[in-house]
Amino acid sequence: MDFQVSERRIINNKIRRRRQLRRNICMYLMTMLLAISLSLVFFSFRAKAQSSDEALVYKYYKSIVVRNGDTLWDYAGMYGGDGQYSSSRDYIKEVMQLNSLHDHKIVAGQYLILPYYSPAPLMEDAT
């Protein structure tokens, strides 16, 4: 009888170890599956800047002196017609904000700061 109890204990231990091994393998596989799934989800979202085919443009500001007969509409045509603004009115609104203008009236000799866009960065002189 002693032999049967001992043998039964050995068989039960084998069964328990097999279950434990199966449980450990399942946990490992589930962890790997979760890690792979999270990686796919995380890396599948691309930033808009990476997927854009548009050329990179830089915004600059230029100080000008108003000449006789010039209007904000003239400057909107010269500097605001590069596709960055939906209309000349939007460009003029920004110019008015930059220069603290309350109306469209400008006079000769007045200094204005005008925004414009360029596809390449401007290099400053090191001198």
Tens digit of each residue's pLDDT (9 = 90 or more) over 79-97: 887 778 888 899 999 999 9
- 70 and 113 in a single domain? The answer is yes
Q: What is the DSSP letter of 70?
A: -
- 1 and 37 in a single domain? The answer is yes
- 108 and 84 in a single domain? The answer is yes
- 38 and 78 in a single domain? The answer is no
Q: What is the DSSP letter of 16?
A: H
Instruction: Tell whether 73 is covered by a domain.
Output: yes
Q: Specify the number of domains making up the chain.
A: 2
Half-sphere exposure of residue 36, counting CA atoms within 13 Å on the CB side? 6
94 is in which domain, residue-wise?
58-118
Q: How confident is the model at residue 29 (pLDDT cuts 50, 70, 90)?
A: very high
Dist CA 61 CA 51 (whole Å): 28
Mean pLDDT (whole number) for 97-114: 92
Instruction: Tell whether 28 is covered by a domain.
Output: yes
Dist CA 115 CA 119 (whole Å): 14
Q: How confident is the model at residue 107 (pLDDT cuts 50, 70, 90)?
A: very high
Tokens of 77: 């045509």
